[in-house]
Structure 1
Amino acid sequence: MQTVSVSFFRFDSVLARVWVLGQMGAARLDFARMPDVTFWKLCGSGVGEGFTPKPNTAVWAILAVWKDEDSARRAIDAAAVYTRWRSHASESWTVFLSTLSARGEWSGKAPFSETETRRDGPLAALTRATIKPTALRHFWGQEPAISAAIGRNRDVLFKIGIGEVPFLHQVTFSIWPDAKSMFEFARAGGPHAEAIRRVREGGWFREELYARFQVLGATGTWAGMNPLAQSERTAA
């Protein structure tokens, strides 16, 4: 079963942040030689809640798609690019996912294959867009309201905004304890739904992708803990 991994790395020192900038080229060579990966992206992040155009030079992410969960876990544990990034990072966390639904394209590809596997537990949502240069001011004008809403939401277990190119590319990634909490955030009338309406009416995106995932598990820590622990305590 195809498995998606999203790995987050925090680089606290100035030297480590300079180092990871250089990895934007070196890591591409690593992934080009990996036999089990079918799609991958190296991403920076935004400051604050992450959903802003201002880069956060401390936090970086690697998204990768693997042929199965075993391949994903082996690579995260032992592949040179991941061990190298962890050795320079002050903290790292990886979440493993299976795709429940996906529509749209990313860099001209449909990277996520839907599965029929569904079970109780946390779900993740990912949206990715290439913003038209003429729509940049309109799009980023919507983001403060969405950031404030998701920041106030007590249900969300994890949230971040990442992207390959500042301003032009935006990926929002969030994890929710269940489908009910995820759908309630996106309900009609809220800032998220209003932003989607304006995007549709204005044709702001050159390319877009929306996907939902089942969370299979995670490894590592973020902010000193496993972000999924809250969901595990609730389930217990």
Structure 2
Amino acid sequence: MSVATLSLFRFSSPMSRIWVIGQMALARPRRLWSGARFVKLCGSGTGEGFTPRPNWSVWAIFAVWPDLEKARDHIANHRVISRWRTRAAESWTVFLSPFSARGAWAGVNPLTDTTDPQAHNGPIAALTRATVKPRHAPAFWARVPDISARIGADRNVLFKIGIGEVPLLHQVTFSIWPDAARMAEFARHMGPHAAAMKAARDNGWFAEEFYARFHVLGTQGQWSGTDPLAGARDTERHAA
């Protein structure tokens, strides 16, 4: 079964930040990613990423691999990922087993083989990705601060970040929750998140949508000096 990875990198020096901006073009060619089924290079927003203002320090690679063994091997040894890790002040990867995926990302569903939703205990991750129609971008981003504030205030969320391929127009939200029940509780709540999604669908704000849910298989590295999932029950940390 396929395994997805989200790798985050923090670049602290001005030269390393300039270098990674160049990587957005130089590390993108498909020939560099022959072992992966799907790869996207992303930047992030300021704060926890849920803003339209770029954060030049934090960058991400989302990839889908044929299985966990290959995911572990490529995260440890892939030349692009290794080069990024060497230049970064810190990096963190989360290994993900998809159990639900619908919609399209860049015209395809990259997670067509999913596992049993009951296959694992422990933390659950949610990823949403949308292509915002340019004429609707101001309305969409006007809603985002309220959503960000609510996610940030929720004590159940273990980790969250906003990333994207193209500023303002491509938005990816990623969050990790202790279990499916608490993630579902947040999604169902009729607050700013539900209101924004209803407005997006009613008004046709998105040209493309993709939604995926994952079991967290493990992590590698540190973020802000620690493993964000340290102590989370039933998580096989240090998967690689």
TM-score, scaled to structure 1: 0.95
The residue that corresponds to 1:157 in the other structure is 158
**Structure 1 counterpart of 2:104, one-letter code:** E
CA distance in 2, matches of 1:6, 1:233: 20
Give how far 1:196 is off.
0.9
CA distance in 2, matches of 1:50, 1:160: 5
The residue that corresponds to 1:115 in the other structure is 115
CA distance in 1, matches of 2:115, 2:141: 33
CA contact 2:95–2:216 (8 Å) conserved in 1: yes
Please state if 1:76 is matched with 2:39: no
Give how far 1:192 is off.
1.1
The C-alpha deviation readout for 1:9-50, integer Å capped at 9, x for no partner, is 000110110010111122124x52433211000000000121
Provide structure 2 residue ranges, at least 5 long, that are not aligned to the other structure: 236-240
Number of matched pairs: 233
**Structure 1 counterpart of 2:25, one-letter code:** G
CA distance in 2, matches of 1:61, 1:147: 19
SS in 1 for 2:33: coil
The C-alpha deviation readout for 1:99-143, integer Å capped at 9, x for no partner, is 110110001011012222621110100000000011111100110
Distance 1:10 1:179, change over 3 A: same
SS in 2 for 1:41: strand
RMSD: 1.4
- Percent identity between the aligned chains? 58
The residue that corresponds to 1:8 in the other structure is 8
CA distance in 2, matches of 1:211, 1:230: 24
SS in 1 for 2:75: helix
TM-score, scaled to structure 2: 0.94
CA distance in 2, matches of 1:111, 1:105: 8
Provide structure 1 residue ranges, at least 5 long, that are not aligned to the other structure: none
The residue that corresponds to 2:90 in the other structure is 91
**Structure 1 counterpart of 2:6, one-letter code:** V
The C-alpha deviation readout for 1:149-180, integer Å capped at 9, x for no partner, is 00111111110000000001100000111111
The residue that corresponds to 2:238 in the other structure is none
CA distance in 2, matches of 1:33, 1:144: 36
CA contact 1:157–1:230 (8 Å) conserved in 2: no
